[in-house]
Structure 1
């Protein structure tokens, strides 16, 4: 069967769920600590005195997260590599005995898995310091706003505290910048880093198995709502290895002994990946191309545009944002207002998917919870 980064995207989502759940736990701890005794005249002094206790509680959550996440990353990469290998074995099952047997030989996975997992763990290492700092800054911000509000006459203490909690629920833990200078929120950053690793593991394993079976060419699929980076490579034949650049190659016919065929190769797989194909959210797949047997598929109409898919992602983020607001609510009125915004954005998603034919991905509208 063909392989794509999406083959392992559920594994990346499971890792990201751990971080989002931890963020939810911290939001709950903030809300509970702030709400406790908020009508007492001594509330500000009590909250300031509890700074050390709050930091200890946050550090306890982060220590558990770090252990769980490191194990989950390694497991996800290992599973992705195994899925990639199995995809190649399934794809080559209809070939000759020699090729199928070669493809079935187990390849060493530990070096690849360890390398990719270590890269993710190193890349996400700074998030723990950032989470601690952001959560403590929010706690201090709530105290500062709530203590100043009565004297300023602008808000009650409870309203000021709710406003600060809402700000945290809206933005979450942010400030993670990738190699291209883009800023990410916590869950998106972790999921992006993990998707990149598990996607690469699946594609590398698939390619390695094809190589073991003597298959040197692959073909790229067409995907719905393709992005500009991937579009140039759709329905193109690529060499698993070798130099970059388009060229004609003379290769042996896949099933006819002694017969050769000319194949137009658009470049190498590594070249295409370096140009953006198989990026973390890519929906394209690659499959074995058998000279003289495989056929390039006819182009298919897309259900929607890339811009439609990005609009859907935006609406999903807004649903999650207002669900966090609902979780941060200190009163029934605030919770009901947030719930109404959730339903409004979900209605927009239904309208978009009905108009374009794109599938609704309800799981991307959910908040992860601690297990």
Structure 2
């Protein structure tokens, strides 16, 4: 069974869902805090005095998130590593019984799982700090803009507050910068980070098991909607470890004693990964290549392009954004307008799926907001 970052995609999404749900809770907390007494002449003074109360509420939400996320991350890493091991065992049935037995025997996994999980939990520390800072800054920004606008005759206090609150709900908790300098919102950053660590766990487990069975070669799949970075490695045979560089190697036949075969190797798996293969959103997989038994598959047409898949990701982000705006609305008219935008973007997703054959991933369009489950009119 091939292994790839996609093998743990559902696990990464489950952890990211915790952060998206937290973002929804924070938007609702800020909305409630601002809406209370908004028509009072002393509203500005009341809201500034209540900053400490809001900070305590936010810190309680973050503490609950930290506890839930730590457990979820450890569980997800352990599951991803186990899936990688199972994938290796499942694809080596063609080997002689003795080698199959070797790969099926227990390999110490706890140290690897703990190392990867600790690193992932540590990486979320900056996320939690950013949540508090961004939410309090947004709250103060709403108060400042709402206080200034009526004096300038530009907007009513409610309109100004809604405008500032919309800006926060639209962008969400942001400010996460990856190593390449790209900016991410919280949900996307968390899911990217978890895909990275969980994909690494599954791939490490897979290659460890192959090594235990004496399998030194792997083959890269052809993936749908492949990106330019990964395309050069499609359907190529790689050395599981060792030196980089293309070469021909003479290796033992996988099942026939005393027979050798020549295999064209495109490089090493570490080399390919360093060049970008198996990045967090990579759709490629690697599987054991058994000399003399495995065959390089014929190229298959893609159901869509990489650009199509990126269009779909954009539409999914817009759906989630307008659902946050719906939750932040201070009145029914704004709520109805936001819901209409959600449905419009959902319609564009349906058109794209019908046009290209891409699979629709409805879970990527969902956010968990307070009261949504009990609201029969909430846009889906």
TM-score, normalized by length of structure 1?
A: 0.98
1:102 paired with 2:93, answer no
Deviations 1:115-165 (A, max 9, x none): 211222222211112111111111111111111222122111111111111
Figure out how many residues of one structure are paired with residues of the other and give that number.
371
Compute the displacement of 1:241 (Å): 1.1
Q: How many Å separate the matches in 2 of 1:134 and 1:89?
A: 46
Deviations 1:161-206 (A, max 9, x none): 1111100111111111111111111111111111100000001101
Q: How many Å separate the matches in 2 of 1:235 and 1:270?
A: 16
Counterpart in the other structure of 2:207? 207
Compute the displacement of 1:369 (Å): 4.4
SS state at 1:166 partner? helix
Counterpart in the other structure of 1:144? 144
Counterpart in the other structure of 1:311? 311
Q: How many Å separate the matches in 1 of 2:353 and 2:59?
A: 42
1:172 paired with 2:185, answer no
Deviations 1:273-324 (A, max 9, x none): 1111111111111111111111100000111111111111001100100011
Counterpart in the other structure of 2:87? 87
Compute the displacement of 1:91 (Å): 1.1
Counterpart in the other structure of 1:15? 15
SS state at 1:126 partner? helix
2:319–2:342: 8 Å Cα contact kept in structure 1? yes
1:131 paired with 2:139, answer no
1:161 paired with 2:167, answer no
Compute the displacement of 1:104 (Å): 0.6
| CA separation of 1:145 and 1:283: change in aligned 2, threshold 3 A | same
1:142–1:165: 8 Å Cα contact kept in structure 2? yes
1:217–1:238: 8 Å Cα contact kept in structure 2? yes
Q: How does 1:299-338 map to 2 (within 5 A)?
A: 299-338=299-338
2:95–2:254: 8 Å Cα contact kept in structure 1? no
Q: Which runs of 5+ in 1 are unaligned?
A: none
Compute the displacement of 1:76 (Å): 0.9
Q: How many Å separate the matches in 1 of 2:357 and 2:52?
A: 52
Counterpart in the other structure of 2:195? 195
Counterpart in the other structure of 2:376? none
Q: How does 1:1-371 map to 2 (within 5 A)?
A: 1-369=1-369
Q: How many Å separate the matches in 2 of 1:360 and 1:249?
A: 42
Deviations 1:236-262 (A, max 9, x none): 001111111111110011121111000
2:116–2:197: 8 Å Cα contact kept in structure 1? yes
Q: Which segment drifts farther, 229-238 or 361-370?
A: 361-370
1:17–1:369: 8 Å Cα contact kept in structure 2? no
Q: How many Å separate the matches in 2 of 1:369 and 1:292?
A: 54
SS state at 2:325 partner? helix
Compute the displacement of 1:100 (Å): 1.2
1:3–1:285: 8 Å Cα contact kept in structure 2? yes
Compute the displacement of 1:94 (Å): 3.9
Q: Which runs of 5+ in 2 are unaligned?
A: 374-380
SS state at 2:208 partner? helix
1:77–1:201: 8 Å Cα contact kept in structure 2? yes
Q: How many Å separate the matches in 2 of 1:119 and 1:272?
A: 23
2:315–2:345: 8 Å Cα contact kept in structure 1? yes
Compute the displacement of 1:72 (Å): 1.3
Compute the displacement of 1:52 (Å): 0.7
Compute the displacement of 1:95 (Å): 2.7
Deviations 1:61-94 (A, max 9, x none): 1111112112211111111000100111111134
**Runs of 4+ in structure 1 displaced over 6 angstroms?**
none
Q: How many Å separate the matches in 1 of 2:53 and 2:350?
A: 44
SS state at 2:368 partner? coil
1:21–1:367: 8 Å Cα contact kept in structure 2? yes
